[in-house]
Amino acid sequence: MRKILTAAGLASSAVALGVLMASPAAAWTANSQFDVVFPGQKPKTTYIVENNGAHAPNGAGMTGKSTVYWQLAVDNVVDGSTRFTSFKITTRIEERLTKDGEDHVVTKKTCDMTAMVNDHYAWNFDTAGNTCVAPSTTYDGELYWSSDATVVYDIAGDDKGAITQELQGTALIHG
């Protein structure tokens, strides 16, 4: 009985060590922020976007997602009318043949967050409503990968049309 327990203990220790030593998913994050000034008495708002790119060596592939948070510059909202006619984010998974090469979009997804940003003056939670996930793709360690995003918004009542915010992409993932 003692030999069986010792063997079982050694086997479970080996499994635990293997789990601890297994390669974790490689992941990179980049943060961007921009302010939006609205016409009239609507409060200035800061938007923060967190771009994440990751790959898992277990075959999960390359993933990319962007999460948008926002906060008011002031505590008092005088004009609560609609702020945006449109607020969309496009999250991309990009590859390069070389470190200094040109990005090529592999997958992308555009998410319409207009209703959410209009319905909430501030948001600092991680939910499906403020997160845009590009379709995953097969990871090739010979290439250089990143996740990137662009926000395009149109402020209600400013007559300037759509404004594009290019966001900080993640560092390159390779190997």
Q: For 152-167, what is the mean pLDDT?
A: 96
Total-model pTM: 0.83
In whole angstroms, give the CA distance from residue 60 to residue 43.
42
Alpha-carbon distance 29 to 156, whole Å? 31
Query: Which pLDDT score, from 0 to 100, does residue 75 have?
Result: 79
Q: Could you tell me the residue ranges of all domains in the chain? A: 24-174
- CA-nearest of 114, 121, 113 to 74 is 121
Instruction: Tell me the fold of 24-174.
Output: Immunoglobulin-like (2.60.40)
Alpha-carbon distance of 63 to 51, in angstroms, equals 11
Q: Tens digits of per-residue pLDDT, 75-87?
A: 778 888 899 999 9
Q: Is 4 a residue whose pLDDT tops 60?
A: no
What does the angle CA 140 – CA 94 – CA 145 come to, to the nearest 5 degrees? Answer: 45
Confidence check: pLDDT of 35 > 60: yes
